[in-house]
Amino acid sequence: MKIRTIIIILTLGIFAGCKNVNQKIEYPVVANIKLTKTLLAVTVVADSLRVPWDIQFLDDHQIIYTEIAGQISKLNLQTGERKLLYNVPDVYQKRTLGLLGMCLSPNMKENPYVFISYTTKTSEDVFSKLVRLTLENDTLVNPEVLHTIPGSTGHNGARLTFAKDGKLLWATGDAHSKTFAQDSTSLNGKILRMNIDGSVPADNPIPGSLVYAWGFRNMQGLTVSDKGVIYTSEHGDAIEDEVNLIKPQQNYGWPQIEGMHDLPEEIAIAKKHQRTEPIRSWTPVIAPSGLKYYNSATIPEWKNSLLLVTLKSQSLRQLKLSDDGQTITDELVFLEKQFGRIRAVTVSPSGDVYLATSNQDWNPQPGFPKPNDDRILKLSPVKKAVHKPFIGVKPTTEKGNVVDGLTLYNSYCESCHKPDGKGVANVFPPLAGAEQVIGEPKKLIDIVLGGLSGEITVKGNKYDQQMPTFNFLKDEELAKILTYVRSNFGNRSSEISATEISKQRK
């Protein structure tokens, strides 16, 4: 062998050996975003994950993330190295259930704790657990169960974060219960506030209780601003997804009141009792998930904003806050449908934004999952674009003006029954060829006006879930939707008129 060849082989060997130590990897740019001044690059820092539900920064170059089936891992952004820290042994993972929210203690040197919220199952009952783990070198040890609360086949929340005063906040779901959210002695459908060991702080609004605020349905986002203001994002039923500003001992209304106080019954309740309105609500729904307060100079256009990521509308949204943080003054939608469902958002110590997609979950949208889903994406300023940049757009709100059947179907039915009307196996029944759709108009009108629950059989298969009511839609809108579902997906049934709907409403 020639000396030169030997040197080359040796050199290659040395470089290969050092690869994960010194070399910073360059992540490929998959998109660009243009803000008023700042240009952002979107890069993929991790892929082939399974529903990363929460992402948190451990230090300036390491992320800890959860995956829904129970894994907690660490990602080194400089080397790309991933390491499994812990596998939660008793996770019950099905549809939306599994390992959900996570947060790190604000002072990891003194209290090296990682807090997680997940669903678990004993014989027949589902529970949500809040567990504290201790980070020791590269593993998580000493799991301590801080709290166990009732769970269900859905609506288990959950997010965790620390308030400015060092107390731990846990946003819990209503576990599909009709009574929990309004019952201040139940821990479901609440913002719970606790000490780092799970005990009740002496200054909680209800003495001896973890309950800090109540009247919530299913929160998927929780964040605290630099000034200490607490915000949540929450899934509405068929309408009114929300962002709330959380204050102690306030009642946010669910299930007596949904979203804004705009119906006569809601106004009447709010007149009599203390009820707090959301600071923003969305109809048609967008399925809001992760929420993070942004205030870094790295992306100046986003200073003093809430960054909200969404599942159904598959986007990142900037909700610009007023100076006092009490109201949302503007909203811009980014990356709609580019990366599919987005579940989690966080901000690095240097002010870059990280997102986690959720396309391997139970409800993938058309065109997803892509072969390398799920992914963690990084948004950071760059000088030059390599793709035609996306810009932020104002949200479209269709509420109020009657549009065509397809648009209405996409706004109100598509997320569950799917664009092709075929539904989701075992969960959402098909509209294509279903007796309930192509049969007598009266039955179909009843379903959308009254909603559905309990076991039903559609095309020979049993379903036992809940469908919300759509009685808030105008006669004309419902007529267009029902005519659309009766004459598409291979269905060939008669039209339904606004008059028929109006008659049946009474």
> Taking CB under 6 A as the rule, does residue 456 contact ligand HEC?
yes
Nearer to ligand HEC, 458 or 498 (CB): 458
Nearer to ligand HEC, 218 or 276 (CB): 218
Measured CA to CA in angstroms, residue 37 lies from 40, 295, 392 at distances of 10, 17, 12
Q: Which of 31, 40, 239, 431 binds ligand HEC (CB under 6 A)?
A: 431
Q: Which of 470, 480, 496, 501 binds ligand HEC (CB under 6 A)?
A: 470
Is residue 113 a contact partner of residue 133, using CB atoms and an 8 Å limit? yes
> Taking CB under 6 A as the rule, does residue 453 contact ligand HEC?
yes
Other Cβ atoms less than 10 A from the Cβ of 353: the count is 23
401 alpha carbon, distance to own chain's centre: 28
Nearer to ligand HEC, 164 or 443 (CB): 443
> Taking CB under 6 A as the rule, does residue 438 contact ligand HEC?
no
Nearest-angstrom CA–CA distance, 220 and 290: 6
Site string for ligand HEC, 188-227 (x = CB under 6 A): ----------------------------------------
Q: Which of 430, 441, 496, 501 binds ligand HEC (CB under 6 A)?
A: 430
Total residues belonging to the chain:
506
Q: Are strands 390-391 and 29-34 parallel, antiparallel or unpaired?
A: parallel
Stretch that binds ligand HEC, among 73-81, 86-94, 135-143, 427-435 (CB under 6 A): 427-435
Nearer to ligand HEC, 215 or 423 (CB): 423
> Taking CB under 6 A as the rule, does residue 115 contact ligand HEC?
no
Nearer to ligand HEC, 211 or 238 (CB): 238
Residues in contact with ligand HEC, counted by CB under 6 A, come to a total of 30
Q: 460: buried, middle or exposed (CB in 10 Å: 19+, 13-18, 0-12)?
A: exposed
Site string for ligand HEC, 391-420 (x = CB under 6 A): ---------------------xx-xxx---
> Taking CB under 6 A as the rule, does residue 270 contact ligand HEC?
no
Is residue 502 a contact partner of residue 441, using CB atoms and an 8 Å limit? no
Residue 469 Cβ vs ligand HEC, minimum distance, rounded to whole Å: 10
Nearest-angstrom CA–CA distance, 59 and 298: 17
Nearest-angstrom CA–CA distance, 497 and 112: 63
Residue 417 Cβ vs ligand HEC, minimum distance, rounded to whole Å: 6
- The DSSP result for 125-172, as a single string, is EEEEEEEEEEEETTEEEEEEEEEEEE--SS----EEEE-TTS-EEEE-
Stretch that binds ligand HEC, among 12-20, 268-276, 386-394, 457-465 (CB under 6 A): 457-465
Other Cβ atoms less than 10 A from the Cβ of 38: the count is 15
**Own/partner pairs, 84-88, CB within 8 angstroms, 24+ separation:** 85/135, 85/138, 85/139, 85/140, 86/133, 86/139, 86/140, 88/116, 88/118, 88/131
Q: Which of 30, 45, 58, 458 binds ligand HEC (CB under 6 A)?
A: 458
Stretch that binds ligand HEC, among 66-74, 342-350, 358-366, 440-448 (CB under 6 A): 440-448
Stretch that binds ligand HEC, among 210-218, 256-264, 272-280, 464-472 (CB under 6 A): 464-472
Nearest-angstrom CA–CA distance, 108 and 51: 26
Residue 453 Cβ vs ligand HEC, minimum distance, rounded to whole Å: 5
Measured CA to CA in angstroms, residue 287 lies from 281, 309, 381, 415 at distances of 11, 9, 28, 10
Nearer to ligand HEC, 267 or 452 (CB): 452
Residue 483 Cβ vs ligand HEC, minimum distance, rounded to whole Å: 11
SS (H, E, C) 8-55: HHHHHHHHHHHCCCCCCCCCCEEEEEECCCCEEEEEEEECCCCCEEEE
Nearer to ligand HEC, 44 or 456 (CB): 456
Nearest-angstrom CA–CA distance, 347 and 135: 21
Q: Which of 196, 447, 449, 498 binds ligand HEC (CB under 6 A)?
A: 447
Residues 6 or more apart from 432 whose CB is under 8 A from it? 420, 421, 422, 489, 490, 491
Q: Which of 485, 488, 489, 501 binds ligand HEC (CB under 6 A)?
A: 485
Using CB under 6 A, list all residues that contact ligand HEC. Answer: 238, 412-413, 415-417, 428-431, 434, 436-437, 444, 447-448, 452-454, 456, 458, 463-468, 470, 481, 485
